[in-house]
Structure 1
Amino acid sequence: SAPQLGVPLRVFAAELSEERCLRYPPELRREHRVRPFPLRVLVNPALRVLDSRLVVAPEGCASLQGFSAFVPRHWAVHVSGVDENGEPVSWEATGWAARIIQHEMDHLDGILYIDRMDTRTFTNVNWMEFVD
């Protein structure tokens, strides 16, 4: 998102490659519908929740590298705005794509996943490196 880069604009870009999808455990991919999607750029996006069920899954963030926590997110959302060329765009997403959209939308409002996480699950993802 633009705010993560120090740019005060309501813009985010998201992409999930097949290679990145395969880094997730098979069970998580299945349960959370982790599927690849092409690069999408949204300027001045507006979010609408399509399915209010909250699904809890682990999240990390480039703003807090080396940590993760379980975060509740809505299962399905719709986001609309314009792309980098000013053309209207609309995206209806479920599962992991919906989670990514909500995560990025939070950045536009100054919210990080640690503001929504289950604090009991906050962990250093590299903790095993410190154990002998």
Structure 2
Amino acid sequence: MYEKLGSTNNYKKLGSAKTYKRHALADARNEEKIQKHFLVRKKKWRKTVQNRALFLATDAMKEDNSDSENESEPENDENSCKICFEKYESEGDRQKAAIVACGHQFCCGCLSSLPRKSCPTCRTAFNKKRILKLFP
């Protein structure tokens, strides 16, 4: 037989090599089971934390949405950019406006600064060729 020395897998020879191998494999299997157990618990904990965070975020969004319903300004104001919320007050500002293929209106600068070329309102993909400037 073998006797385990300390917390490592060092064995003092008390029997044959087969016995040593068998004990080493058993220890490896036990260690693997323990690691799997902790991994499962870690995943469950992470899922619980994510669910709680999602619940809290959803609650906060509901509160925010109830505040926005009471605003006096209409949401679909055609005289402002939906990305930076700047109003097109003068004719010079109006020349900065552009329409994407889906029909939504934004500033040219805001459209060019988007990392992904998709409409922020409806997520329709577009490219530079499909942007129409209102006043060229």
Q: Which has the greater radius of gyration?
A: 2
The normalised TM-score by structure 2 is: 0.19
TM-score normalised by the chain length of structure 1: 0.19
Bigger helix fraction: 2
Structure with higher RCO (Cα < 8 A, 6+ apart): 1
